[in-house]
Amino acid sequence: MQELPLKQVVLTDYFWRYYQELIKETIIPYQYDVLNDALDIEVEAERKDDYLPKGKSHALENFRITAGKTQGEHFGWFFQDSDVYKWIEATSYVLVKQRDTVLEGLVDEVINLIGSAQEEDGYLNTYFQLKYPELKYRQLYFSHELYCAGHLIEAAIAYDQATGKKELLAIALKLVGNIEQYFGEEEGKIQGADGHQEIELALGRLYEHTGEEKYLTLAAFFIEVRGKDPLFYEKEITQNIADGLTTDNPNVDLLYLQAYDQPKNQQTAQGHAVRMLYMAASMAKIANFQQDEKLLQACLAIWENITTKKMYVTGGVGSTVHGEAFTSDYDLPNDTMYCETCASIALVYFAYELYKIEPKTEYFEVIERAIYNGILSGASVDGTHFFYVNPLEVQPESCHHNPGKGHVKTQRPDWLGCACCPPNFARLIGSIGKYIYNQSEKGLWVNLFIGSQLKGEYFSIVQQTNFPYENQVKIYYEGVKQNVHIRIPKWLQNLTVTGIDDYDLNEGYLRFEAYPQMALVLTFDQPILSISSNPKVSGNMNKISIQRGPFIYCAESIDNEIDLHQYFIKTKNISKGVVSQTSEILNQTLTIEVQAKKQQSWTENVLYQYNQDVIFESKSLKLIPYHLWGNRGETEMRVWLNC
């Protein structure tokens, strides 16, 4: 299964155009200004911890200092550089649609700066260059040097694809050259991988971009070497101490790092969710290119573990803030979870790689779930506020006063000390066009209902629709004869197809043979659905969540009364809910109003009573799409509702 060049896809969609415009007009300029410390905003730590960086980004300044253009000290995380790289990547996805001299001028300037910061031998990481040059490539358990390199590579590819300009690619290749010099299975080279996976995925993409086998080989080396010697990181630390380079003697948590065994032997999702999923995505990519069956089986086992036991209904993953990590099967607390925006993005990458191996609908079900819910929620509709953590249940008082929820922000901050998510949001949502269509030897695949046009070499296809606001998608096709497969989401009902007679519905796909010039119309319902959770998930017992179309819905107290946990809805009333359009949050937002009852509060000021009757009053409950929560001030929010 092939990816199609992003250039070939033009978005005409109302819903997604909003986000494309937001990225271009607001997010990209805003993020540049933040990285440049040019805005008077509040940069918050990602959770309550006085030792975490906050107050400013300093990401571009770190490069300037390294390049000798200004004086100062490195500030921020050891992976602060990656914020800049991800911003370039996101900007490239704007430029690939439409070149822009001013914006390119800005990017070229940044690229120039990055180049000036790079060392002669290709090494590039402002944190180690400025603070600990003696520890380069010697603290891999935390250093993120190869992680940052990975993001540089991805940015370079994207910018090349968008503009044909090679300067950043040259910088990236020079860095890769440096990495090749130090890492590899040859004797004398470092037999270890970065604590935070990312280089593996980036090198896989570099192989796709350049066709050069050696990048795939290096990616595969990093996957193969991980966990091969579980003591690798311990030895590294001991050696550094013995060499007098540092006194740091941290505990290495091999589960957190997915280095307790080689990836090919891993069967479940463990540890830090973003690391786990960047790794899994690269494993799938490598398994695909190298026809590595064992690696593929590991990917499928991990996929099964996540999607049947460890994924929130919003497509969020990572049940705990401690290590931003996966926990045990069916452990999905709704109020203390992590559900980092980046982790859902990484889940999309993983799903997409598996899809390219075998186009089962389950992969795009997860991609759709994550994109429309747990990822879109990562940014405010004004494009200048970002969530790191995407909770499914928020009681503001508890979040403010229970430190176990110190990471659950009730409002999207202006920016974050650890700012991995905001530019990641921009690069994923900015490249949404890449996920709509694919091509394989079996024909063309349409994965998502998004108003758009794909212009291939020998054909073009158009989706004309105001989905998700309407229940119709018109498809126009021109070009060579080929099979077309349209994924039919599980949430739709009463599908009718007009314009063609000869089609089949199989394994979630509507398949037909497209002829040189044709049009068809899909019409369907988007009923309001109640979602039950597997009874093994204790926190969702007695509760349902609501879905309509690709959107998971939530209740906010701003639309209802406080104490949302006192509302109860009857499953049988759900489908009778009333859908209305409002422009209150986002133009054309569809809200849902369902019949509910609310348990009355007690008049007695006591905590406990014996044999107490429960008294309800009739209420209606208004719901909005989950991704729009928190856009109207601090409010209670809840996805899973009592039933």
- Does the footprint of a copy of itself cover residue 541 (CB under 8 A)? yes
Q: Please give the positions annotated as active site.
A: 324, 420
Given 247, 291, 517, 612, the residue binding a copy of itself (CB under 8 A): 612
Given 398, 460, 464, 588, the residue binding a copy of itself (CB under 8 A): 398
Measured between alpha carbons, how far is 546 from 531 in angstroms, rounded to an integer? 6
Measured between alpha carbons, how far is 470 from 473 in angstroms, rounded to an integer? 8
Measured between alpha carbons, how far is 75 from 82 in angstroms, rounded to an integer? 13
Q: Which stretch binds a copy of itself (CB under 8 A): 68-76, 173-181, 372-380, 540-548?
A: 540-548
Give the nearer residue to a copy of itself in terms of CB position, either 493 or 582.
493
Give the nearer residue to a copy of itself in terms of CB position, either 92 or 344.
344
Nearest-approach distance from CB 638 to a copy of itself, in angstroms? 9
Given 321, 342, 347, 370, the residue binding a copy of itself (CB under 8 A): 321
- Does the footprint of a copy of itself cover residue 603 (CB under 8 A)? no
Q: How far is CA 175 from CA 198, 448, 576, in A?
A: 15, 37, 59
Q: Which stretch binds a copy of itself (CB under 8 A): 320-328, 422-430, 502-510, 582-590?
A: 320-328
- The three-state DSSP-derived secondary structure of 465-517 is CCCCCCCEEEEEEEECCEEEEEECCCCCEEEEEECCCCEEEECCEEEEEECCE
Task: Give the dihedral of Cα atoms 345, 349, 354, 359; nearest 10 deg.
Answer: 80
- Does the footprint of a copy of itself cover residue 534 (CB under 8 A)? yes
Give the nearer residue to a copy of itself in terms of CB position, either 9 or 639.
639
Give residue 362's identity as a one-letter amino acid code: E
Given 403, 470, 581, 582, the residue binding a copy of itself (CB under 8 A): 403
Give the nearer residue to a copy of itself in terms of CB position, either 531 or 585.
531
Q: Which stretch binds a copy of itself (CB under 8 A): 62-70, 104-112, 323-331, 443-451?
A: 323-331
Measured between alpha carbons, how far is 635 from 177 in angstroms, rounded to an integer? 51
Nearest-approach distance from CB 178 to a copy of itself, in angstroms? 35
Q: Which stretch binds a copy of itself (CB under 8 A): 136-144, 194-202, 309-317, 443-451?
A: 309-317
Give the nearer residue to a copy of itself in terms of CB position, either 406 or 508.
406
User: 538: which strand partners?
Assistant: none
How many other C-beta atoms lie within 10 A of the C-beta of residue 418?
21
Nearest-approach distance from CB 331 to a copy of itself, in angstroms? 5
Name the H helices within 123-272: 126-130, 145-163, 167-182, 199-210, 213-225, 232-242
Given 94, 379, 537, 590, the residue binding a copy of itself (CB under 8 A): 537
- Does the footprint of a copy of itself cover residue 606 (CB under 8 A)? yes
Q: Among residues 299, 88, 290, 297, which one has the least CA distance to residue 207?
A: 290
37: region left, alpha or beta (phi > 0 left; psi from -120 to 50 alpha):
left
Given 533, 557, 560, 591, the residue binding a copy of itself (CB under 8 A): 533
Binders of a copy of itself among residues 325 to 354 (CB under 8 A) are 325, 327-329, 331, 333, 336
Nearest-approach distance from CB 15 to a copy of itself, in angstroms? 22
250: region left, alpha or beta (phi > 0 left; psi from -120 to 50 alpha):
beta
Binders of a copy of itself among residues 473 to 492 (CB under 8 A) are 490-491
Query: Is 486 in contact with 522 (CB distance < 8 Å)?
Result: yes
Query: Is 607 in contact with 627 (CB distance < 8 Å)?
Result: no
Measured between alpha carbons, how far is 527 from 178 in angstroms, rounded to an integer? 55
Measured between alpha carbons, how far is 214 from 181 in angstroms, rounded to an integer? 13
Given 7, 131, 235, 322, the residue binding a copy of itself (CB under 8 A): 322
Number of residues that bind a copy of itself (CB under 8 A): 64
The DSSP annotation for 271-290 comes to SBHHHHHHHHHHHHHHHHHH
Q: Which stretch binds a copy of itself (CB under 8 A): 92-100, 174-182, 187-195, 525-533?
A: 525-533
Given 599, 620, 632, 634, the residue binding a copy of itself (CB under 8 A): 599
- Give the three-class secondary structure for 270: coil
Q: For the packed helices 101-117 and 167-182, what is the interaxial angle rounded to 10 degrees?
A: 30
Nearest-approach distance from CB 176 to a copy of itself, in angstroms? 36
Given 31, 129, 319, 344, the residue binding a copy of itself (CB under 8 A): 319
- Does the footprint of a copy of itself cover residue 602 (CB under 8 A)? yes
For residues 553 to 572, the per-residue mask of contacts with a copy of itself, x marking binding by CB under 8 A and - elsewhere, is ----------x-xx----x-
- Does the footprint of a copy of itself cover residue 535 (CB under 8 A)? yes
Give the nearer residue to a copy of itself in terms of CB position, either 118 or 334.
334
Binders of a copy of itself among residues 22 to 51 (CB under 8 A) are 50
Query: Is 138 in contact with 189 (CB distance < 8 Å)?
Result: no
- Does the footprint of a copy of itself cover residue 268 (CB under 8 A)? no
- Does the footprint of a copy of itself cover residue 244 (CB under 8 A)? no
Residues 6+ apart with CB under 8 A from 554: 392, 623, 624, 625, 626, 629, 637, 638, 639
Give the nearer residue to a copy of itself in terms of CB position, either 12 or 599.
599
Q: Taking the alpha carbons of 236, 242, 243, 248 in that order, is the dihedral positive or negative?
A: positive
Residues 6+ apart with CB under 8 A from 19: 376, 429, 432
The DSSP annotation for 61-74 comes to HHHHHHTTSS----
Q: Burial-class residue 499 by CB neighbours within 10 Å (0-12, 13-18, 19+).
A: middle
Give the nearer residue to a copy of itself in terms of CB position, either 57 or 307.
307
Query: Is 367 in contact with 432 (CB distance < 8 Å)?
Result: no
- Does the footprint of a copy of itself cover residue 538 (CB under 8 A)? yes
Nearest-approach distance from CB 617 to a copy of itself, in angstroms? 12
Nearest-approach distance from CB 251 to a copy of itself, in angstroms? 5
Nearest-approach distance from CB 568 to a copy of itself, in angstroms? 8
- Does the footprint of a copy of itself cover residue 311 (CB under 8 A)? yes
Nearest-approach distance from CB 223 to a copy of itself, in angstroms? 25
- Does the footprint of a copy of itself cover residue 532 (CB under 8 A)? yes
Given 397, 470, 584, 617, the residue binding a copy of itself (CB under 8 A): 397
Cis peptide before 423 (omega within 30 of 0): no
Q: Among residues 103, 101, 80, 79, which one has the least CA distance to residue 90?
A: 103
Q: Taking the alpha carbons of 150, 156, 158, 161 in that order, is the dihedral positive or negative?
A: negative
Residues that bind a copy of itself (CB under 8 A): 50, 251, 304, 307-309, 311, 313, 319-323, 325, 327-329, 331, 333, 336, 395, 397-398, 400-404, 406, 490-491, 529-538, 541-542, 547, 563, 565-566, 571, 574-575, 599-602, 605-612, 614, 642
